[in-house]
C-alpha cells in the first residue's frame, strides 16, 4: 500500500471512529460522502422570494469561477439596493423614532467574519461588514463607529428614510404612540435576507443583511449581524442562516446550533428542524413568533425549517432556479399541531 493510500485510509478510519460515537450509521455515511464525492456541487440558497434575484447575481459570480465570498456579498447587495424592499437596506422601515438602522454580517470559508449593527445612511452594510473583516482586527462595529468607519472606507452618505417609508412611519406613529408593535413575519411580510453559497472549490461562505424589526426601539439589534445567531459557517461541515424573530434566535445561538447538529451527522433539514424545536421549547408564548433556518452541508445538500407555515427559500444550482417550501411545526391558525 502506498504512503498516500495509507494516509487516506487512516484519515477515513479515524474520522469514522470519532463520528461513530455521535451517530454511528449516519456519521459513517457522511464521512464516505465527504471523502469519495467526485466534485463540489455549486449551490446558492437564500431566504424568501427576494432571494431569487439575489441568487441570480450570486450565481453569475460562481459561474465565472468566482469565490463563494464574492458571490454572497454581491448577491445580497441586490436586495440591499432594492428600494421597494421594506425589510432590507435603506428602503426598509425605520425604528419608532424614525431612523433606518441597518445590520449585516459576512463569514467566509476560513472562519473570518465581519459585521456592522445599527448603522445609518449607508447603502450597502454588507460591503462595510466585509471591510470590517478584511481591514480591521475586529469582528463588529456598531452605530456611529460603524458609520464613521464606512465613510473612511469611501462609502457615500445616503439619506434615509425614503419618502414613502417616512409617510408610513408618520401614520404608524399617530396610531401607536409609544407602543411597540409585534412583528408579523410570514409569507406576507418578508424580512432578513440570509444567503449561503458553495463554490467550485467546495468552499462555503454566507451573508446576512436587514433593516430589522419595523418600528423597533431605537438601538435594538436582532440576530442578523451576530455571528453564530443570524449566520454561521464552518467550512468543514457547512453553513446556516436564520430569519424571523431575532431575539428568539439569539437565545439559542441559532445558526451555530444548526451547524453543530450537522457536525453530529444530521442533514441540513433535520438540523434546522431541531433548532426550531429548541426555540419552541424555550418559549411559553409563541404568538407571532416566527423563526426559520436554512442550511447547506459540504455535499451540497440543503434544507430549511420554520416554526410556522409560510417560510420558503430560493435555490439556485446549475439546473435549478426555484423556491423551496420548508416544512414547519405549526400553522398560523393554531399554536400547536
Q: How confident is the model at residue 39 (pLDDT cuts 50, 70, 90)?
A: low
- Answer yes or no: CATH 3.40.30.10 is held by domain 38-330: no
Predicted model pTM:
0.88
In the chain, where are the structural domains located? 1-36, 38-330
Q: What pLDDT does 191 receive?
A: 75
Catalytic residues: 192
| Mean pLDDT, residues 84-96 | 95
Backbone angles phi, psi at 313, to 5 degrees: -140, 155
Q: Is the pLDDT of residue 34 over 80?
A: no
Alpha helices in 107-253 (DSSP H): 125-135, 143-152, 163-176, 246-251
**Per-residue pLDDT reduced to its tens digit, 248-276:** 999 999 999 999 999 999 999 999 999 99
Q: Is the pLDDT of residue 198 over 90?
A: yes
Backbone angles phi, psi at 18, to 5 degrees: -65, -50
The candidate with the shortest Cα–Cα distance to 15, out of 1, 25, 27, is 27
In angstroms, the CA 102 to CA 90 distance is 8
Amino acid at each position: 500500500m502506498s504512503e498516500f493510500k495509507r494516509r487516506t485510509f487512516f484519515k477515513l478510519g479515524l474520522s469514522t471512529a470519532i463520528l461513530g460515537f455521535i451517530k454511528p450509521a449516519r456519521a459513517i455515511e457522511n464521512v464516505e460522502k465527504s471523502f469519495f464525492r467526485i466534485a463540489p456541487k455549486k449551490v446558492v440558497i437564500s431566504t424568501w422570494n427576494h432571494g431569487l434575484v439575489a441568487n441570480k447575481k450570486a450565481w453569475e459570480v460562481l459561474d465565472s469561477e468566482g469565490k463563494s465570498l464574492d458571490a454572497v456579498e454581491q448577491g445580497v447587495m441586490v436586495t440591499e439596493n432594492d428600494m421597494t424592499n421594506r425589510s432590507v437596506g435603506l428602503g426598509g422601515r425605520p425604528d419608532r423614532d424614525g431612523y433606518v438602522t441597518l445590520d449585516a454580517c459576512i463569514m467566509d470559508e476560513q472562519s473570518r467574519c465581519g459585521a456592522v449593527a445599527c448603522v445609518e445612511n449607508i447603502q450597502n452594510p454588507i460591503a462595510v461588514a466585509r471591510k470590517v473583516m478584511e481591514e480591521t482586527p475586529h469582528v463588529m462595529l456598531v452605530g456611529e463607529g460603524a458609520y464613521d468607519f464606512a465613510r473612511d472606507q469611501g462609502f457615500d452618505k445616503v439619506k434615509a428614510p425614503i419618502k414613502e417609508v417616512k409617510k408610513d412611519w408618520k401614520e404608524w406613529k399617530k396610531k401607536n404612540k409609544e407602543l411597540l408593535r409585534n412583528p408579523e413575519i410570514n409569507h406576507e411580510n418578508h424580512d432578513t435576507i440570509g444567503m449561503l453559497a458553495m463554490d467550485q472549490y467546495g468552499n462555503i461562505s454566507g451573508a446576512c443583511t436587514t433593516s430589522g424589526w419595523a418600528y423597533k426601539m431605537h438601538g435594538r439589534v436582532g440576530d442578523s449581524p451576530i455571528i453564530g445567531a443570524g449566520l454561521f459557517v464552518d467550512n468543514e461541515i457547512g453553513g446556516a442562516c436564520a430569519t424571523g424573530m431575532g431575539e428568539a434566535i439569539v437565545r439559542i445561538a441559532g445558526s451555530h446550533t444548526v451547524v453543530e447538529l450537522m457536525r453530529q451527522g444530521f442533514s441540513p433539514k433535520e438540523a434546522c428542524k431541531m433548532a426550531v424545536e429548541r426555540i419552541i421549547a424555550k418559549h411559553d408564548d409563541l404568538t407571532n413568533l416566527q423563526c426559520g433556518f436554512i442550511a447547506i452541508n459540504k455535499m451540497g445538500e440543503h434544507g430549511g425549517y420554520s416554526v410556522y407555515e409560510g417560510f420558503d427559500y430560493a435555490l439556485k444550482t446549475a439546473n435549478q432556479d426555484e423556491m423551496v417550501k420548508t416544512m414547519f411545526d405549526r400553522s398560523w391558525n393554531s399554536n400547536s399541531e
